[in-house]
Amino acid sequence: MPPIEKIVPLETSHIPFVMRLNEAAGWNQTEKDWARVISVEPEGCFALFADGVLASTATAVCFGRALAWIGMVLTDPAFRGRGYARRLMEHALEFLGRRGMEWIKLDATDMGRPLYLKLGFEDEAPVERWVLDNVPAMPRVDLPPYKPDPALDLEAFGACRSRMLELLSAEGAASIPGEGFAMARPGAKADYFGPCVCRSPQAARRFLEWFLSRSPGRPAAWDILPANVEAVRLAREFGFERRRQLVRQVRPGLAAGQPLPHNDAYVFAIAAFEYG
């Protein structure tokens, strides 16, 4: 008998089951990361169940009408190759079409990229996971508390993600007046540095020291757009190693206008693969 398959909204009660897939894929996302995506865009998060078992997920977060971000595309290894990720992607794209989104982006792994290419996504830029396995102890660096800078973030990222940033800032965030902001949070495998959006490498260095001085003895992860050569230079200087390369991809939505301007020179750390 073929399995009974259905796509349903992903809910917080599914998170313990999702975490099994998360672990099987070796992802750094935590239960909180999944809960955050669901709370920001409850109508855009989907799960595919096969015979009552959560087999596959995909999430889509909208930043206004300008830009949507697809993430958490994940299929249980036992259920791969059955077309589940494709069906969830098509479901998510339909949702974004109904919302009238102008542009859609995602950060593609090697495993996901062939599917996204078939669905009309095009490569925009590489994005890299850099890791420091054991953060050395260092004097604690304190910075002023986080103050949102929507204009800077819009210029850097290309769309307004104030709501997401507000939620992320609850886990740890700092600002340097006139320069920018940075955030940090625990991960399943490594403490995570990002987003870090600021106007100068000097500020980025202070933010990095702020982050590292709070994670002695822990592994640290940092996702970098290598177009920002100063971010790469800092990562090397502080002993980080490049471990994975993904590809940021873009696809026009139904209502695509002009391509979204963004400024990678201000993006010293992305926020997350699942929302850019």
In whole angstroms, what is the distance from residue 198 CA to residue 213 CA?
A: 19
Q: How far apart are CA 276 and CA 271, in angstroms?
A: 6
Q: Tell me if 274 sits within 8 A of 196, measured CB to CB.
A: no
Find the distance separating the first CA and the last CA of the chain, reported in whole Å: 40
Give 104 or 234: the residue with its C-beta nearer to ligand COA: 104
Least distance (Å) from ligand COA to the CB of residue 275? 13
Residue 276 touching ligand COA (CB under 6 A): no
Position among 29, 30, 56, 169 found at the interface with ligand COA (CB under 6 A): 56
Token couple for 201? 């490498």
150-157 helix and 162-169 helix, angle to the nearest 10 degrees: 110
User: Where in 99-158 is the site for ligand COA (CB under 6 A)?
Assistant: 108-109, 111-112, 114-115, 118
Closest approach, Cβ 50 to ligand COA, in A, equals 10
Among 2, 52, 81, 139, binds ligand COA (CB under 6 A): 81
Q: Give the residue, chosen from 22, 29, 59, 75, that forms a contact with ligand COA under the rule CB under 6 A.
A: 75
Q: How far is the CB of 259 from ligand COA (least distance, A)?
A: 22
Q: Is 22 in the site for ligand COA (CB under 6 A)?
A: no
* Closest to 30 (Cα-Cα) out of 218, 214, 171: 171
Asked whether the beta carbons of 267 and 228 are under 8 A apart, the reply is yes
CB of 87 to ligand COA, least distance (A): 7
Is the Cβ of residue 180 or residue 194 nearer to ligand COA in the bound state?
194
Please give the Cα distance from 79 to 58 (Å, whole number).
15
- For residue 274, the one-letter residue type is E
28 lines the binding site for ligand COA (CB under 6 A): no
Burial of 144 (0-12, 13-18, 19+ CB in 10 A): exposed
Q: Does 189 bind ligand COA (CB under 6 A)?
A: no
Q: Which residues bind ligand COA (CB under 6 A)?
A: 25, 56, 73-75, 80-86, 108-109, 111-112, 114-115, 118
